[in-house]
Chains A and B, each alone.
Chain A
Amino acid sequence: MIAKKSIKIFTILAVVFSSFTSYATSDGSTEKEGQVNSPESINAYIKHHLADSHDFALYSYTNDAGERKHVGFPLPVMVWTSKGLKTFMSSEFHHNDDGHVIVDKGDVKLTKIHSKIYELNEGETHVAFDDQHHATNAHKVLDFSITKSVFGMLLAGLLMLLGFSSLARGYKKGAIPTGIGRVLEPLVLYVRDEIARPNIGEKKYKKFMPYLLTVFFFIWILNLLGLTPLGFNVTGQIAVTACLAIFTLIIYITNGSKDFWQHTLWMPGVPVLIRPVLAILELAGFILIKPFSLLVRLFANITAGHSVVMGIAALMILLKAKFGTVGATGISFLLTLFLSVIEVLVAFLQAFIFTMLSALFIGMAVEEHEHH
């Protein structure tokens, strides 16, 4: 029994640690068209990784016959065009990302340029570009596709569902959870005792626990998924972090107590002439600055982390001329390993900070003052 469990743990650890190496090796050799070996192509590759994409590419290589092979799987594309909803698999674009492959869906022609799906204007068969490489005879469509990031979020949701339902089921058998629940229980208690209780207050924290726990584990799992070689960068998408910050905003605005609104809009105890000025400042702080700082912090931290790790991994290619293959790989591997370990810490810290500040803002809003 113990041996079986330790094998399981060892396998998980092996997968986690091999992720660091495959990060380093896969970065160097993949790009849709040909090799990544110059600073410009490395830059383009990192930018490509940071952006969302319509298919799930693990890696790609050029075989002996000179063909480009892609390993991964396609994801469904759902777009709302001028002729209604169109759905198909992203494999129909054949990994083309510069508008050369036109997907004909009967009444509309669609193409993909820089991970954005465009609809060609009536009667056109090819995309025309102006000198800034913008399409001139096509327009963007509303895109509801299951992209890589959406897939990552669904995966995180599934992991949370599995983990926490197993934790909940564990309490039916006894007071001490088994399996994955044993890892999750201290984290849940940590969020409750270190984040929710001191910041929101003993009386009201229970109402906000579901949100705080969800947001904490959602961010944490997605941050950790971003460190695996699957290549997710979900919490590094500004739209995702903006959405999370807006959830927090809605929660503390709708739960604001009478005292909170009074202190925000018509601060007692200061001269009447200053009150409107204070109200403007307080409102700007609560509606704009606080959510903005939440969303920017998470987005910038994760984006910076990903680009630095990938940049360090790319050192391998740039230093090859100076130190030889083994030397360059060694330097790049050690630095990448070091940074990846820091990133594991950052993944937790950012989830903690986001939850902590959400709890702090909610606590400010629901607080009731004692009247003298």
Chain B
Amino acid sequence: MYNLIGAGLIVIGGGIGLGQIGGKAMEGIARQPEAAGKIQTAMIIIGALLEGLAFGALLLA
């Protein structure tokens, strides 16, 4: 039961984080379309780091 609540909290946290990353990247690309490639790569890396964190927590939950 508690681990399910924990899993839910992790998903909420991860979702907020991914939303922030994605949103800011979109803003960045809209402001500077020529830097889209670089922004995308950086976005994927940060997303992956966040994902690693969230999955690690999910395994423990």
Binding site for B on A (CB under 8 A): 194, 198, 292-294, 296-297, 300-301, 349, 352-353, 356-357, 360
Contact = CB atoms under 8 A, between A and B. Distances in A.
A238 to B, nearest CB: 9
A356 B44 contact: yes
B59 A297 contact: no
Contact of B52 (A194, A293, A352, A360): A293
B48 A296 contact: no
Contacts of B41: 194, 198, 356
Contacts of B56: 292-293, 296
Interface residues of B, number: 12
Contacts of A360: 45
Given A296-B55, A352-B44, 20 more contacts: A198-B41, A292-B56, A293-B49, A293-B53, A296-B52, A296-B56, A297-B48, A297-B51, A297-B55, A300-B55, A300-B58, A300-B59, A301-B51, A301-B55, A353-B44, A353-B48, A356-B45, A356-B48, A357-B49, A360-B45
Contacts of A294: 52
Contact residues of A: prevailing secondary structure: helix
A297 B44 contact: no
A357 B53 CA distance: 14
Nearest to A357: B48
A360 B49 CA distance: 12
B45 A296 contact: no
A345 B44 CA distance: 13
Contacts of B48: 297, 353, 356-357
Nearest to B48: A353
The listed residue with most B CB atoms (<10 A of its CB), out of A293, A294, A301, is A293
Contacts of B58: 300
10 contacts: A293-B53, A296-B55, A297-B52, A300-B58, A301-B51, A353-B48, A356-B45, A356-B48, A357-B45, A357-B49
A296 B53 CA distance: 9
A100 B55 CA distance: 38
Contacts of B45: 353, 356-357, 360
A357 to B, nearest CB: 6
A157 B19 CA distance: 38
A292 B60 CA distance: 13
A296 B58 CA distance: 10
The listed residue with most A CB atoms (<10 A of its CB), out of B44, B48, B53, B56, is B48
